[in-house]
Structure 1
Amino acid sequence: MHRPRPAEAEFAEELAVVRPDLAERYAAELPGARAAVLSRLWRGLTHEPLPWVVAREPGREGLALRLSDGRRLHGPHPDPYATAAYVRAVRLDGTAYDRPEHLMTDLGVPHATDLAAELADSVASLALSRTTQEPRSPQWPAHDWEWEQRVVDGHPYHPNCRSRPGFSVAEQLAYGPEHRPLVRLGFVPVPAAECLVTGEWPDEFRDGERLLLPVHPWQAEHVLKRRTSQGLDAHPLMSLRTLAVAGDRHVKTALSARLTSSVRDISVYSIGMSATLSEFAEALTHRMDGLLHFTRTLGAATANSPDLAAVLRESPRVHGERVLPVAALATTELPESPGWLAEFARLALTAGLRLLELGVALEAHGQNLLVVLSPSGAPVRLVYRDLADVRISPARLARHGIPVPELSGRVVTDDVTTLRRKLFGSLVAGALAGTAGSATALRGALESAVRDLPRTPDLAALLEQPLPTKALTLMRLSPGTPGDQWTQLPNPLR
């Protein structure tokens, strides 16, 4: 079979030119990166509704997948909630594969070639991401962006956890948060009359009758293909395209590159909804009894193009000194006890289910959801940022006497399945599972957390039904199918 481009070798060749001091470390990190991506891929192969997998047959030595062409794929017993790289190799009709891109190529299923290239890029980028890591410091970071930059491996379950197609090695080192760079954002001046603006656009980002839109340097070079003026220094956060700037503010920039599953531009629709969503979320805060706060959107603007837009948000740090993304919890020196995890799960489920009952389903994965910790490390309250992908139910809001905001489009739905998928898939199968790191740990935390929660229909669904999660591998193998696709994981509580 034709092999995808040798991304590992290409990265090594470029690294030898731009950072030869990292070449040896890069080579040493490749086996672990392959296992990390292969483990994520195996999760997708064993749990997603792939049309060419006709049977999954567990045995004493692992799991066998029977394929539609008669071949058999063997691997270890899968743990859909594991975050460790526990799959070192799988066997396709007796041939061992330790490189995920080679496995995908030889599976030969529709669109396998494209995914194989992405997997190869993910492995090489992940190994590169690990080359600049320093020993973990026991000291609490002085800046909120330092927590974000400790998250090295990306999405805990996506096989494209570190895929950054279109980024050279030099660009990854210059812009990737895990490499801790200082990025110089540029400004593109656009006549204000040609822009859609919501919220308050700051005076410092104006020049007379023109708006100064912050632009990521990668976007300016590769997409806009134009020079930028002036600019400001910024520290990249977990999402790469969102950066921390002076004044406890975060700037979300358009970055028209595919990261994991999606192209990360900023739609005109989301700009138009941003101020209304922010005001609505702030109005809901008083119903949360101090459990959850939202970061305010200060202003948003677009030159009527998803490639040239920006959103200004307040930093989560305004809600507490010791606040960090849930994805960064694994990098902290937290109390190592099942009780801590159960306490955190109780806090997250209480807040998430209460909002869902009111009519708001959060996309509460480890990047959007943050936790405020006490000086002793106990979880005190939550902070949520980036409202662009929440779902809002007018019927549920009306049932609780909450004024329905003037919203339209994808964020508005009364479909119960859609609402529950949004919350359960991101919070339980994402943030909580990623923090727990295994099915056993997740089950223990949830069993303790749900005991005292109000017995709502949503909680009953969480307790009794399989756990929904995005079918991340299937989505990358279905380029003609728009939107999210879903699968079901074994319920850790059953």
Structure 2
Amino acid sequence: MDRVDLKPPADAVAQRADAYAAAPLLNCLLREVAEPLPRSGARPAYRLPGTGRLLRVRPGRRPADPEVHSAGSWHRLGHSELVKLVAEELRRLTGLPGDDLPAEMIDSRDTVAALLTARARATAPEDPYLRSEQSLITGHPYHPAPKARGGGPAAAWLPYAPEAHAHFPLVLLGVREDQVAEEGDTRALDALATAPPGYRLLPAHPWQLGLLGRGLEPAFADGRLIRLGTTAFDTWPTAAVRTVYEPRRDLFLKFSLDVRITNDIRRLWRHDLLKLRRTDTAATEAFAAMGPPAAWLSDHGYRTAAFAFEELAVLVRDGLRDHLLPGATPLLAAGLAEGFEGSPPAATAAPEAWWEAYLRQVVPPALRAFDEHGVVLEAHLQNTLIAVDAAGTPVQALFRDAEGAKLVPDVSRAAGWERLVYCLVVNHLGEIAGALVEHHPGLDPWPAVRRELARHDLPEVPALLTSPTLPGKTNLLLRWTGADGAEARYLPLPNPLADGSRSALA
């Protein structure tokens, strides 16, 4: 990473890290557990039903400054005290110990501190797309430990952290031809370098190789694997951490990473890889039928070693150039929600028109893919790119991640719709709307969402527009109870789309 001679004071970093880490944890606690009390002051107060404790916070999209009531007065909680409070509450409420989650919450906060320090010494990429991918210091706004990196020392992961503006070469391995396992179009891998006769090229993420440790030594010893150096170019990690982008080749590669990030160990699991072609083909065909400007970034092939099928798997994803409208600049939707230098929601002088343009690009392809083709896009903030024109106006949406997409033949239509509503409306539109309102107070974003949804003749839409609630994912309880990360559990949230309701999603 390029460095400049800047270093924030340690106490300032600690305070900022506490604030960044507390906000998503409080969001989870208030959404999933806390019971609101009648408003009696500037700060809303809540009862925690497991312990009976009283909590109050500074309200907003990112709640802050938590205080607990004790001995007749309110006492400020730092992040570590907040973690203890949450852990005690959930032990009482669920009867379960929570295993490693409290440590993950602390790790997430410490990760943020390391990122803030490194970020102050790094140079942000000039490319606005890369800048948007590398902007997520808060990360998932409704996860108790969104920035945890597996508890390892910062030196092991910081060189590969998108939030620290990292860029790095990939390790090049050769896999003996009789040990190659692959499916789909992987020709882009062969163009990275030249493998010796009898071997195929296999790029590897250097962090993943470090995590695997000595487990690959037998394969190197008997010649099933050989080392071929590193790429002659750097790659840039995207918001997903394990996916990298090489701008000159317009190449995305997604790797296994044996680290828990949010809810899951981020390995390319065998069962997901084996069904990937079917899911990706369905999504590709759906977007081909729809036509531009909406686009699907296909995960069109994977390659790995048969003896380390999941550990060394690499997925080849479509680049951007063949899909982008001329002159359009892609930006990560999650980056727009979090904010970065030059972000269009903050810069626009016409927020209503900007928002209507945004909705016109994002909503129709997600609904049509579901209704007409049975493809449930995981259309959340991190899987959606928004291309803007020279004025910053949204002109195109690009969707990605066949691994997260579902097909209606495999899930019921009702279950698929619930998942789509959560990903698209609650996770995605709710956060972009919140960011827009922060920059443009007084804007009511929900009538425009209602109008856009009402244009589409899906049988589920009328109920969506009148239901008092929307499904909210319970990441805190999911992690505390040890449920599988793919096993989404939802609780009802007030629906800002319903007539007479203009409350934000919370």
TM-score norm. by structure 2 comes to 0.80
Residue of structure 2 equivalent to 1:215: 204
Shift of the 157–105 alpha-carbon distance from structure 1 to 2, 3 Å rule, reads closer
Structure 2 unpaired stretches of 5+: 218-226, 499-506
Residue of structure 2 equivalent to 1:323: 330
Q: Tell me which of 259, 278, 301 is aligned to 1:257.
A: 259
- Partner of 1:467, secondary structure, is strand
Shift of the 277–160 alpha-carbon distance from structure 1 to 2, 3 Å rule, reads same
Shift of the 436–118 alpha-carbon distance from structure 1 to 2, 3 Å rule, reads same
Shift of the 277–231 alpha-carbon distance from structure 1 to 2, 3 Å rule, reads farther
Shift in Å, 1:326: 0.7
Shift of the 432–306 alpha-carbon distance from structure 1 to 2, 3 Å rule, reads same
Residue of structure 1 equivalent to 2:296: 294
Letter of the 1:422 counterpart: R
Return the alpha-carbon distance in structure 2 between the equivalents of residues 456 and 259 of structure 1.
35
Residue of structure 2 equivalent to 1:68: 50
Shift in Å, 1:388: 0.8
CA contact (8 A) 2:329 2:387 kept: yes
Q: How does 1:366-445 map to 2 (within 5 A)?
A: 366-394=381-409, 412-416=410-414, 418-437=415-434, 444-445=444-445
Q: How does 1:237-386 map to 2 (within 5 A)?
A: 237-245=238-246, 246-304=248-306, 305-320=309-324, 321-329=328-336, 330-331=339-340, 332-334=342-344, 335-336=348-349, 337-358=351-372, 359-386=374-401
Residue of structure 2 equivalent to 1:15: none
Residue of structure 2 equivalent to 1:397: none
Shift in Å, 1:112: 4.3
RMSD over aligned Cα atoms:
3.1
Letter of the 1:371 counterpart: I
Return the alpha-carbon distance in structure 1 between the equivalents of residues 184 and 383 of structure 2.
21
Q: How does 1:2-401 map to 2 (within 5 A)?
A: 24-48=8-32, 50=33, 55-61=35-41, 62-69=44-51, 71-76=52-57, 82=61, 84=62, 86-91=63-68, 93=70, 95-99=75-79, 100-107=82-89, 109=91, 110-112=96-98, 114-133=100-119, 141-142=126-127, 144-202=129-187, 203-204=190-191, 207-225=196-214, 226=216, 228-232=227-231, 233-245=234-246, 246-304=248-306, 305-320=309-324, 321-329=328-336, 330-331=339-340, 332-334=342-344, 335-336=348-349, 337-358=351-372, 359-394=374-409
Shift of the 278–426 alpha-carbon distance from structure 1 to 2, 3 Å rule, reads same
Deviates more, 1:379-388 or 1:451-460: 451-460
Cα shift readout 1:164-193 (whole Å, capped 9, x = no counterpart) = 124322234311012222222213333343
Shift in Å, 1:322: 0.5
Cα shift readout 1:146-176 (whole Å, capped 9, x = no counterpart) = 4312333322322212111243222343110
Letter of the 1:121 counterpart: D
Shift of the 104–333 alpha-carbon distance from structure 1 to 2, 3 Å rule, reads closer
Return the alpha-carbon distance in structure 2 between the equivalents of residues 446 and 132 of structure 1.
38
CA contact (8 A) 1:342 1:444 kept: no
Shift in Å, 1:120: 1.1
Return the alpha-carbon distance in structure 2 between the equivalents of residues 457 and 136 of structure 1.
50
Letter of the 1:198 counterpart: E
Shift in Å, 1:439: 10
Return the alpha-carbon distance in structure 1 between the equivalents of residues 150 and 255 of structure 2.
18
Shift of the 21–458 alpha-carbon distance from structure 1 to 2, 3 Å rule, reads same
Return the alpha-carbon distance in structure 1 between the equivalents of residues 386 and 298 of structure 2.
16
- Partner of 2:416, secondary structure, is helix
CA contact (8 A) 1:182 1:234 kept: yes
Return the alpha-carbon distance in structure 1 between the equivalents of residues 112 and 330 of structure 2.
26
Shift in Å, 1:480: 4.9
Shift of the 140–127 alpha-carbon distance from structure 1 to 2, 3 Å rule, reads closer
Shift in Å, 1:102: 3.2
Shift in Å, 1:60: 2.1
Structure 1 unpaired stretches of 5+: 1-18, 395-411
Q: Percentage identity across aligned positions?
A: 25
Shift of the 249–464 alpha-carbon distance from structure 1 to 2, 3 Å rule, reads same
Residue of structure 1 equivalent to 2:488: 484
Residue of structure 2 equivalent to 1:398: none
Shift of the 156–46 alpha-carbon distance from structure 1 to 2, 3 Å rule, reads closer
